[in-house]
Amino acid sequence: MTSSIHNGILKTVFAEVIRAREAGRESLRLRLLNQLLRQSAASGQSELLVEALDLAVADPETQPVPNRLDLLARTLDAVETLPNRGATFQATKLNSRQRQLVNEQIHLAREMVQSESLDTPSRVVAVQLLLRTPDEERDDLAIVVRLLHPRTPPEVAQALVDRVSGYQLPSIADALLAGWRSHSPALRSQILTVIATRPSWIALLAERLESGELPLAAIDPVTRQRLLTTKNSDLRARLSQLFDSATSADRGQVLDQFRSAIDLAGDQTRGQQLFAKKCAACHRLGQTGKDVGPQLATLTNKSPEALLVAMLDPNRAVEAKYLNYVAVTEDGRSLSGVLAEETAGSVTLIAAEGKRTTILRSELEELASTSKSMMPDGLEKDLTPQDLADVIAFVSQSISP
């Protein structure tokens, strides 16, 4: 297809967008404008894209606000993919009226993102207009830090992390890690995935781990493996040393003390009784127990040594979704458990015995992870090596294929 034919098609689509707007056919207008934006960016038609900016922000009184902001974000994304682009839309050939219109919409978006009374989908759309103006990047990152908070619906928080992930600003990693203790498992996983994309951010993560500001238990095995693929050899060595030291010295001594349990013959019947007494409040095997902690039947390593480690050093390799959280409500209540569910308006914790508690986000004063498994250290305090051998025998028999 020649350039002239391609330009002719784009101008035709442009005209159809205008006709759809004049006819009040909003869904058709949106579909055609999205097509125009994609094709204009792909062809490098900066002039047409700048004209499309008018269509994206035109008629603010008649367009639904989320639609207008979504179109503006898509237009700016397309502008920034042009070969001659700058860092933001400010590098494009906009006239003063267009710049004013765009800036007005960006400021409106900032207000919408921070509005707790606004519906979640509209706030998610508004997130896409953050970090569009270099002179306000610091303010936008402050918004990100402020909104990565338990009161914020998870969809908005996830959109914020996704929005900042494409930028190379050193301060982004600081912003993402600032409220780590209160982040949900899903949000933590998303943040670590983003941080693992840039060596400078990984270096900051390593500093936080070395200082103890961020617990080593926060880094799950999959993320550890990904972090260790960094091409920076010095950084890779630092991380390896950190992860190798993850086992608690005290827990190591306890494991040595009870390691003889591995070689003892276990009594499955007695092990079942001990399991019901010590473990069933959080773990289910067959018809015994509650589904709070990890499903034992799905364990990949079922060796006696692995089971012993899981019982005596539960924080060595705990999955993020089984970390213990503490919620403090505005009326002074303190509740703890695994963060089992999140919605735009509430969080649900599951405690021992499967007790579920749902808390409205508007009632949350604080939500923070203890960075530890809900299963406590010290299980061995009233058990003998033989007791552990009996439990291992019962669990091994119950989860064997």
Helix, strand or coil, per DSSP, at residue 126: helix
Mean pLDDT over each residue of the chain, to the nearest integer: 81
Nearest in space to 378 (alpha carbons), one of 278, 264, 237: 278
pLDDT at 76 over 50: yes
With a pLDDT cut of 90, the percent of the chain lying above it is: 25
Identify which of 4-18, 58-72, 101-115 has the greatest average pLDDT: 101-115
Confidence of residue 63 (pLDDT cuts 50, 70, 90): low
Averaged pLDDT, 295-299 = 74
Enumerate the domain spans of the chain: 1-132, 249-314+377-399
Confidence of residue 179 (pLDDT cuts 50, 70, 90): confident
pLDDT confidence of residue 85: 45
Judge whether 372 and 336 are in contact, CB under 8 Å.
no
The 10 Å Cβ neighbour count of residue 40 is 27
Q: How far apart are CA 105 and CA 126, in angstroms?
A: 9
pLDDT confidence of residue 359: 92
Topology of the domain comprising 249-314+377-399: Cytochrome Bc1 Complex; Chain D, domain 2 (1.10.760)
Token pair, residue 226, equals 């990904």
Confidence of residue 207 (pLDDT cuts 50, 70, 90): very high
Indicate whether this model's pTM tops 0.75.
no
Q: How far apart are CA 184 and CA 190, in angstroms?
A: 10
pLDDT confidence of residue 216: 83
pLDDT confidence of residue 199: 87
Tell me the residue length of the chain.
Answer: 401
pLDDT tens-digit map of 335-370: 888 998 989 899 999 988 788 999 999 889 889 888
pLDDT confidence of residue 110: 95
Averaged pLDDT, 280-306 = 80
Judge whether 187 and 342 are in contact, CB under 8 Å.
no
- Residue of higher predicted confidence among 336 and 53: 336
> Which segment of 66-80, 117-131, 186-200, 379-393 scores lowest on mean pLDDT?
66-80
Burial of 4 (C-beta count, 10 Å sphere; 0-12/13-18/19+): exposed
Averaged pLDDT, 67-88 = 67
Token pair, residue 205, equals 């993560």
Averaged pLDDT, 388-393 = 91
pLDDT confidence of residue 246: 61
